Amino acid sequence: MQNAESIKNALKSRLLDMVESRCEYLKHAEFLVVIGIKINNRTLLLSSCLDDVTRRYIDGICERVTHDCSGGTPAKISIDSDLYQIFGRSGVARSLKQSLVADDDAGFETDNNVVDRYLDTLDFEAIAKAINVQAASLKDEGLAMMGKKIIDELNLRSEYWSAPRLDKNRVVCRSYAFNYWHANAKIADLKTLQNGFSIIENEAGLAFGSAMADYITAAGNLCYGQEKIASRTVCGKGGLLEIHCFKDKHEYRFSKIAFDAVLAFLTINGHPDVTDTIITNLYGAEAA
């Protein structure tokens, strides 16, 4: 739980350190110029420094809380920059600059006073509340996002060529084959999918096997002379999930117990419409 006063005090400490370092930098930069050394950036506008340090600090809080509360999902905490970027605000930047930083080279003591006045313009209660509200529901939102990624990667909304189908004791989900030119973007998607499967495995007490790790490795090995994963490649052979690669398509082949776990995850995390359609299409006669 983020506390407004704690955020303010920690930020103030950083800003005061920045002010001291900036004054020292300007002093030494001026001397270097006098003795003939050219320095491209001598200004370091105080207004920019205040906003930059504040942005980095607030972003750091959001990153830490995201790590602690997201549960390994892709959800991230992000708050409106208008809450903490004073000089970047349209319409108010000019008046704030005039009132807070009348003389950008006023000196250390004046700059310290500016820090207090700058902090007074920030609504730390609103900042803390924005972070805490998102943190409370972050994992649930992330699981819903993870579910959507699984649906998209496995084409679970499809009703045609790539629709899930039964093949003996496996549920087969098709996707199009990718090549070397799209491998980096695809690997990022596959790692998110892998994380989703890991959550499902933990919740269901299952182990899907090495298919995703093998598949990601094969994608990472693509190069100019080998632009596609070789046809007939099987990733994770014998596991609850196998991935079969062909020239123009890749197939995720789930055991029924593994696919049922995927459907349960999607149902619980906001996508019951998708699972209902799949169950009807795959097991309609049995379900009836």
CA distance 186 to 180: 10
In percent, the amount of the chain with pLDDT more than 70 equals 89
**How far does Cα 14 stand from its chain's mean position?**
26
pLDDT tens for 244-258 read 999 999 999 999 999
Which residue did the predictor score with more confidence, 6 or 88?
Answer: 6
What's residue 217's pLDDT? 97
What's residue 102's pLDDT? 53
Place of tokens 């529901």: 137
For the cut 80, the answer to whether the pLDDT of residue 93 exceeds it is no
CB atoms within 10 A of CB 162: 18
In percent, the amount of the chain with pLDDT more than 90 equals 68
Return the SS3 of 276: helix
Over the range 17-47, which residues count as b (16 or more CB within 10 Å of their CB) and which as e?
A: ebbeebbeebeebeeeeeeeeeeeeeebbbb
For the cut 70, the answer to whether the pLDDT of residue 119 exceeds it is yes
- The predicted model gives 97-114 an average pLDDT of 60
For the cut 70, the answer to whether the pLDDT of residue 29 exceeds it is yes
CA distance 231 to 234: 9
CA distance 209 to 102: 64
Q: Is the separation of the CB atoms in 77 and 65 below 8 Å? A: yes
**How far does Cα 13 stand from its chain's mean position?**
29
pLDDT band at 16 (very low <50, low <70, confident <90, very high): very high
Longest dimension (CA), the chain: 90
What DSSP state is assigned to residue 234?
Answer: E
Mean pLDDT over the full length of the chain: 89
Over the range 239-248, which residues count as b (16 or more CB within 10 Å of their CB) and which as e?
A: bbbbbbbeee
CA distance 140 to 133: 13
- The predicted model gives 213-231 an average pLDDT of 94
pLDDT tens for 62-73 read 999 999 999 989
Lowest mean pLDDT among 162-166, 206-210, 264-268: 162-166
- The predicted model gives 203-220 an average pLDDT of 97
pLDDT tens for 163-182 read 899 998 999 999 999 999 99
For the cut 60, the answer to whether the pLDDT of residue 100 exceeds it is no
pLDDT band at 109 (very low <50, low <70, confident <90, very high): low
Lowest mean pLDDT among 73-87, 100-114, 201-215: 100-114
CA distance 7 to 29: 32
CA distance 172 to 174: 6
Backbone angles phi, psi at 234, to 5 degrees: -120, 120
253 Rama class: left (phi>0) / alpha (psi -120 to 50) / beta: beta
